[in-house]
């Protein structure tokens, strides 16, 4: 499998997309979400999961593995309709139900409506995956304007608050919340300062919420990926930077969504029944001590 990943790293051409969120169907090569060697074992049998940012990238890979483990999935996304429908088909191809819900997680009303629709159509809500996010590169700190700062926090942090508050009306004892942070929360990033700050906030939120919800039997953890080949990369960086993105990792390459998704399965399942307030670091070997 390493040979396949190394080959894809070598074959990735320079590219960029002039929009956020990015579009997976326009990437070359396409990200790898399928985890062909992963065998489901019923870890999420009968469970219902809500995944924000579930249309593409890591979110798509998580949706596929959740379905392979026996779960039904609600896929929330902004406006990437083609990608979302493809992910829905992939979940259904695993023999599970899926619904797609378009809207902005920064809008509290949308979050409430999306959770209610999930419960209405899929019958329950057992796992919340807060994955939607955005980032905007700026070479100088002074170039981060108030509008960008507010928008990045609105999506990456406020969206997590809104969805979590809505989900708590339905999550049962034994339920799980899995947040997506980033290696930037631990290492920082000189051109993604506001994005790094939002991910630091999510680490603190994960720890605090885990303590708060322990008495309700709801676990809260997070995943902090390193560089991963998702639509966010060509949507965030210039073409030349995209071409060699990820080569700074100890493994010398970018990660693939299928390599990140098992962390979410673990944290969502009863295998992690004694784990809460923690962060997993699938990042290509970088030690961050967090």
Give which of 11, 89, 100, 78 is closest to 232, Cα–Cα.
Answer: 78
Check 5, 77, 186, 195 and give the catalytic one.
Answer: 195
DSSP state of 107: -
Q: Which H helix or E strand runs over 221? A: strand 219-223
Give which of 40, 38, 222, 36 is closest to 131, Cα–Cα.
Answer: 222
Q: How far apart are CA 240 and CA 223, in angstroms?
A: 28
Helix axes 81-93, 57-68, angle to 10 degrees: 20
Q: How far apart are the first and last CA of the chain?
A: 28
Secondary structure of 108-165 in HEC code, one letter for each residue: HHHHHHHHHHHHHHHCCCCEEEECCCCCCCCCCHHHCCHHHHHHHHHHHHHHHHHHHH
Q: With beta carbons less than 8 A apart as the criterion, state whether 70 and 97 touch.
A: no
186 is catalytic: no
Q: How far apart are CA 44 and CA 164, in angstroms?
A: 20
Q: Side-chain half-sphere of 192: how many Cα atoms within 13 Å?
A: 22
> Which of the residues are catalytic?
195
């Amino acid at each position: 499998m390493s040979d396949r990943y190394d080959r894809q790293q070598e074959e990735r051409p320079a590219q960029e997309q002039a929009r956020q969120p990015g579009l997976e169907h326009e990437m070359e090569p396409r990200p790898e979400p399928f985890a062909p060697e992963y065998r489901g074992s019923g870890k999420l049998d009968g469970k219902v999961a809500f995944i924000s940012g579930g249309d593409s990238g890591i979110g798509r890979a998580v949706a596929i593995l959740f379905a392979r483990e026996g779960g039904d999935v609600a896929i929330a996304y902004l406006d990437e309709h083609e990608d979302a429908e493809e992910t829905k088909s992939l979940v259904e191809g695993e023999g599970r139900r899926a619904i797609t819900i378009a809207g902005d997680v920064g809008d509290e009303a949308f979050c409430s409506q999306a959770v209610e629709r999930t419960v209405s159509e899929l019958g329950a809500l057992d796992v919340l995956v807060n994955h939607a996010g955005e980032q905007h590169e700026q070479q100088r700190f002074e170039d981060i304007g108030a509008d960008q700062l507010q928008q990045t926090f609105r999506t990456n942090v406020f969206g997590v608050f809104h969805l979590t508050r809505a989900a708590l009306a339905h999550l049962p004892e034994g339920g799980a919340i899995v947040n997506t942070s980033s290696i930037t929360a631990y290492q920082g990033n000189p051109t993604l300062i506001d994005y790094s700050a939002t991910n630091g906030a999510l680490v603190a939120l994960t720890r605090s919420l885990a303590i708060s919800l322990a008495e309700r039997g709801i676990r809260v953890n997070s995943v902090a990926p390193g560089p991963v080949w998702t639509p966010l990369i060509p949507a965030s960086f210039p073409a030349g930077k995209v071409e060699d993105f990820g080569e700074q990792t100890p493994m010398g390459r970018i990660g693939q969504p299928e390599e990140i998704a098992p962390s979410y399965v673990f944290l969502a399942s009863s295998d992690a029944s004694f784990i809460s307030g923690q962060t997993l670091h699938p990042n290509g070997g970088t030690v961050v001590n967090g």
